[in-house]
Amino acid sequence: MPELKNLEDTKPVFRFAPNPNGPLSFGHARGIVINGSYAEEHKGTLILRFDDTDTTVKPPELAAYDLIPQEVEWLLGRPADRIVVASDRIPVYYEHAEKMLRNKFGYVCKCTAEAFRQFRESKTNCPCRDKSVEENLSDWNKMLDGTYKPGDAVVRVKTDMTLKNPALRDWPALRMQDTVANPHPRPNIRSKYKVWPLLDFQSAVEDHLQGVTHIIRGKDLMDSTRKQTLLYEHFGWSYPETIYWGRVKVHEWGGFSTSKMRASIENGEYSGWDDPRLPTIQGLQARGIQADALRNFWIELAVTQKDISVPLATLFSHNTKKIDDDAPRLSFIRDPVEVEILGDVPSEIELPIHPNHSDKGTRTISLNPPNVFIESEDARGSYRLKEFADIDEDGNIESVERSDKRPIIHWTSTTTSEHSTLLIPNQEEIEYISGRVESNDYSAGTIVQLERIGYAIVTNEGFLLMHE
RNA sequence: GCUCGUGUGGUGUAGCCAGGUCCAUCAUCGCGGGUUUUCAUCCCGCUGACCCGGGUUCGAAUCCCGGCACGAGCACCA
């Protein structure tokens, strides 16, 4: 990761600030990993902050308040150092809004959104801009007590209507929301407040109050930095060091959004947030992706402002490195064909659990009766049953030692195997392949390698193929 | 449209701020080979890139100008 600037005097403070409107996704992991790794590297602090100030467009979800900290802990291997919830801090934001009005760098604007858009485009001051402090405070109170309704009035930060960048012109800081129709999900908040800060204001004030020193976030928030810097100037604060990353697309996933996923889950396309096909933290967990691997993946992509598109193979490659040494080998026979082995067949045979780690012990396959299953694809000509014997097309043992270059295939015996199902999470649908798996007592969640197929995770239904 | 940002091999990434040591780093993918009784792991090797055009300079991936391409913001969302 790139070196940070402005690290001189104090321990740095970072923050990861999602909207708790659903479980975390793959993309959120970047914010957690990068901010968390920097915090760890510099013995700094990581704040997890819930920016839950919108009850209408992207309403928060109660369950996420408990789930997200767990997901952060899973990913980092340690919890966030501090959790801040914006909806607990509304009075603090009000204080700052009032200070803004009193010090004349903010005003209550009663123009409609459309009317203000005209002013913004024409670089014209809105008539509300020149109101007295008294008038602004009076209007502010009418916002607070509900005399005004959502849409009637907002608090704006006075910047300059002639600024080159239209996004920065007298930007809105607080607005009203109908929290009776759309109550906040947290039981102690519900309909308590009518006036709510917008992200740029809430985040800016909170960053200052929490002593955040470094903000690392998406470059879509570049204009936010500029807006917030203008606010900091008004307050006489200095803005944190800011670093941006560009947009990341995973080729196989394309564009998933929390709202899109929610809709797809609700209409039954996916089983839930933990569906292994979904790019959620839970989906990745279900798919056997290790926290370490995900961390390494994001650190390797680093923090650049380029918009990139990466293949899943990159993530899988990191994952393979993490799991291979621990993954017991197992035989899974797709579309099994039974073959009776003729000749001098031992009653049982021992196979290593892991070819590179003999200390992991052996597995025993019974060959009494001497019948085995092989994949129908492999059932042509002669072959070698791995770790056992060379067999001719009729099932006769030709040699116990490897005698030629015939293909080596995996197999299992009829006795030491049972029916099982292999689930393959393709993009569109989950493919179910039934077959015979070598008998084992691995519990759900264990990651194994199905020889010649790939890495899979044991589930209650059978095996879920992770990747090759 | 206006504003901001980014352009290094198939995909990511280092180098760019402080020009030469860069016939450009590392990883991944692909291909080939070795180890291995898995098409896994591990090891070795190969192919492959500085968006384009000017300029400054003895010298530019690095600095300047102009194009082009891509992305984001211009929400009473986060």
Q: What is the DSSP string of A427-439?
A: SS-EEEEEEEEE-
Sign of CA dihedral A184, A186, A192, A195: negative
Interatomic CA–C1' length for residue A224 and nucleotide B67, angstroms: 30
The set of residues, in sequence order, having a beta carbon less than 8 Å from that of A411 and lying 6+ positions away, is A331, A333, A372, A373, A374, A385, A386, A388
Closest CA to A152 of A116, A199, A101: A116
* pLDDT over 80 at A4, yes or no: no
Strand A336-340 versus strand A348-352 pairing type? unpaired
A27-46: b (≥16 Cβ within 10 Å) or e: bbbbbbbbbbbbbeebebbb
Task: For residue A24, name the pLDDT band (cuts at 50, 70, 90).
Answer: very high
* pLDDT over 80 at A444, yes or no: yes
Q: Which of chain A's residues 168-227 bind strand B, using a 7 Å CB cutoff?
A: 172, 175-176, 196, 198-199, 219-224
Structural contact between residues A33 and A293, judged by C-beta atoms closer than 8 angstroms = no
Summarize the confidence of residues A173-185 as an average pLDDT: 95
Interatomic CA–C1' length for residue A445 and nucleotide B46, angstroms: 40
The set of residues, in sequence order, having a beta carbon less than 8 Å from that of A438 and lying 6+ positions away, is A330, A331, A332, A363, A365, A412, A416, A417
Report all structural domains of chain A as residue ranges with CATH numbers, in order of start: 13-88+203-314 (3.40.50.620), 90-197 (3.90.800.10), 329-467 (2.40.240.10)
Per-residue model confidence as pLDDT tens digits over A280-311: 999 999 999 999 999 999 998 889 988 888 98
Closest CA to A461 of A426, A425, A428, A427: A425
> Letter for the amino acid at A52?
D
CB burial class (10 A; 0-12, 13-18, 19+) of residue A137? middle
Q: How wide is the angle at C-alpha A365 spanned by C-alphas A364 and A367, nearest 5°?
A: 140
Order of all β-strands in the sheet with A397-399: A397-399, A389-391, A383-385, A408-409
* pLDDT over 80 at A261, yes or no: yes
Interatomic CA–C1' length for residue A160 and nucleotide B77, angstroms: 23
- Rounded CA separation A169/A123 (Å): 8
> Letter for the amino acid at A99?
K
Interatomic CA–C1' length for residue A320 and nucleotide B49, angstroms: 28
Q: Within 13 A of A39's CA, how many CA atoms are on the CB side? A: 25
**A401 beta carbon < 7 A from strand B?**
yes
pLDDT at position A8: 65
pLDDT at position A10: 73
Per-residue model confidence as pLDDT tens digits over A145-164: 999 999 999 999 999 998 88
pLDDT at position A9: 62
Give the nucleotide nearest to A251 (CA→C1'): B11
Closest CA to A412 of A363, A460, A465: A363
Structural contact between residues A28 and A281, judged by C-beta atoms closer than 8 angstroms = yes
Interatomic CA–C1' length for residue A309 and nucleotide B30, angstroms: 18
* pLDDT over 90 at A457, yes or no: yes
Structural contact between residues A157 and A105, judged by C-beta atoms closer than 8 angstroms = yes
Going from the C-alpha of A374 to that of each of A26, A134, A406, A462, the distances in angstroms are: 38, 86, 15, 19
**A325 beta carbon < 7 A from strand B?**
yes
pLDDT at position A227: 92
* pLDDT over 90 at A257, yes or no: no
Per-residue model confidence as pLDDT tens digits over A28-42: 999 999 999 999 988
